[in-house]
């Protein structure tokens, strides 16, 4: 049974709706690989936030069934596309659905299995490569999209609060690969597949990224140029990526989008939307915000200074974080090297309604900063 506070019951019944909230997420959901028409049809069936995960899971199940039928008929291209879209539906369903962790985790596992079915239908040269990086007694799971161009740079994508490597990481990986980059997406501590084995602790996260870079340096079997490494992160990853770049000097440049770069202790956590408060306790494995604050409190100006080029995006209508302009100003003060702030006054969180402009700009920026 889902136990909700009175505030949550009110919000999920009267506030969380397409007109007030869901429509703001459309850009993000489309980047998961969901068709717009399907997106609208599923959202139309959601009359209460409590039904959100269930409706999207039902749609993902239907797509998997269609994919299996396509395979039976020898239509592997169609099957692969449907398996990928099922991943997007499962991910949309479990995304920030912290109110029912059991349902969330079952749907997320379906996303992983559907992704494995999808990539099994690629030819060997195109198939994402599964890599498990040892780290503190566990393994960081990830997928490498390998460029067809020898000695290309490596881009590492750092997840947000509730992303999984199989969704946005896949579509973004395609884009980077098409433009001559190697691209690695992973689930870090407290995220996706690794959540069950290791919870989030901000003090440890940069060590996970360093372990990934160490692994690629020790296993130079993919023909990548390890002297040209870039990081990119959206949402919580928009803080984590620049922070990790400051700790690991092998990173040559970094992009952050809508990074929550300071928390403000327990008082700051209590100012977050109830959804994100549940996300904080879920990621850290804690019961209360009071218990979680030690693992989920930071201020980027307490981290080592960043001396490599930074491209940072912030959105004026970002309702995920309080006072988004303050975060943009703080990260610009913190960065000591070359820095560019792209502030979209009318954009939603992660500039998700301007991604048609943002993604190509990021690609061009990485090409310039990681040129030979």
Q: What is the pLDDT of residues 148-179, one digit of tens each?
A: 999 999 999 999 999 999 998 898 999 999 99
What pLDDT does residue 126 have?
93
pLDDT at position 2 is: 65
For residue 112, pLDDT beyond 90: yes
Q: 10 Å Cβ neighbour count for 42? A: 20
Q: At what angle do helices 101-119 and 52-72 cross, to 10 degrees?
A: 20
Lowest mean pLDDT among 52-56, 302-306, 322-326, 349-353: 322-326
May I ask the CATH class of domain 6-119? mainly alpha
The predicted structure's pLDDT at residue 178: 95
Asked if pLDDT for residue 250 goes beyond 60, the answer is: yes
Helices (H), the chain: 6-10, 26-31, 36-45, 52-72, 76-94, 101-119, 168-178, 202-218, 236-247, 265-270, 274-284, 289-292, 324-334, 355-369
Residue the block writes with tokens 């084995």 = 197
pLDDT of residue 48: 86
pLDDT at 15: 65
Q: What is the pLDDT of residue 105?
A: 97
Looking at residue 263, its pLDDT comes to 96
pLDDT of 4 reads 78
* pLDDT for 372: 57
Same fold, 6-119 and 129-262+298-369: no
pLDDT above 70 (res 14): no
Give pLDDT, residue 176: 97
Which pLDDT tens digit goes with each residue over 45-100? 998 888 999 999 999 999 999 999 999 999 999 999 999 999 999 999 999 999 89
**Domain map of the chain by residue range?**
6-119, 129-262+298-369
Confidence tier at 1 by pLDDT (50, 70, 90): low
Supply the pTM of this predicted model.
0.96
Give me the chain's average pLDDT, please: 94
Which uninterrupted H or E stretch holds 270?
A: helix 265-270
Whose tokens are 């040209």? That residue is 228
* Model pLDDT, residue 294: 97
* Homologous superfamily of the 129-262+298-369 domain (CATH): Alpha/Beta hydrolase fold, catalytic domain (3.40.50.1820)
């Amino acid at each position: 049974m889902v136990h909700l506070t009175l505030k949550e019951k009110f919000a999920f019944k009267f506030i969380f709706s397409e007109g007030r909230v869901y429509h703001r997420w459309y850009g993000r959901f489309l980047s998961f690989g969901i068709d717009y028409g399907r997106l609208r049809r599923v959202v139309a069936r959601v009359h209460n936030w409590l039904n959100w995960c269930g409706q999207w899971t039902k749609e993902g199940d239907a797509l998997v069934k269609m994919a299996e039928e396509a395979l039976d008929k020898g239509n592997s291209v169609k099957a692969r596309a449907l398996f990928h879209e099922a991943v997007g539906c499962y991910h949309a369903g479990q995304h920030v659905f912290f109110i029912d962790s059991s349902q969330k985790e079952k749907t997320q596992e379906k996303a992983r299995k559907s992704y494995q079915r999808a990539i099994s239908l690629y030819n060997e040269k195109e198939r994402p490569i599964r890599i498990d990086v040892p780290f503190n007694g566990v393994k960081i799971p990830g997928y490498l999209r390998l460029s067809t161009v020898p000695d290309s740079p490596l881009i590492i994508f750092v997840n947000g609060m509730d992303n999984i490597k199989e969704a946005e990481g896949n579509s973004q990986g395609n884009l980077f690969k098409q433009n001559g980059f190697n691209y690695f997406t992973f689930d870090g501590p407290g995220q996706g597949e690794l959540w069950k084995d290791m919870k989030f602790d901000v003090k440890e996260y940069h060590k996970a990224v360093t372990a990934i870079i160490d692994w690629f340096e020790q296993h130079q079997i993919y023909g990548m140029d390890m002297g040209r490494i870039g990081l990119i992160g959206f949402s919580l990853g928009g803080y984590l990526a620049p922070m990790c770049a400051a700790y690991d000097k092998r990173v040559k440049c970094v992009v952050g989008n809508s990074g929550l770069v300071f928390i403000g202790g327990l008082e700051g956590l209590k100012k977050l939307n109830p959804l994100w408060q549940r996300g904080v306790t879920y990621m850290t494995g804690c019961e209360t915000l009071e218990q979680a604050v030690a693992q989920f409190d930071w201020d980027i100006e307490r981290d080592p200074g960043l001396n490599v080029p930074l491209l940072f995006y912030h959105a004026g209508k970002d309702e995920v974080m309080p006072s988004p302009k303050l975060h943009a100003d703080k990260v610009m003060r913190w960065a000591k090297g070359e820095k560019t702030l792209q502030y979209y006054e009318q954009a939603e969180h992660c500039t998700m309604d301007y991604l048609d402009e943002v993604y190509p700009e990021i690609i061009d920026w990485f090409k310039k900063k990681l040129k030979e």
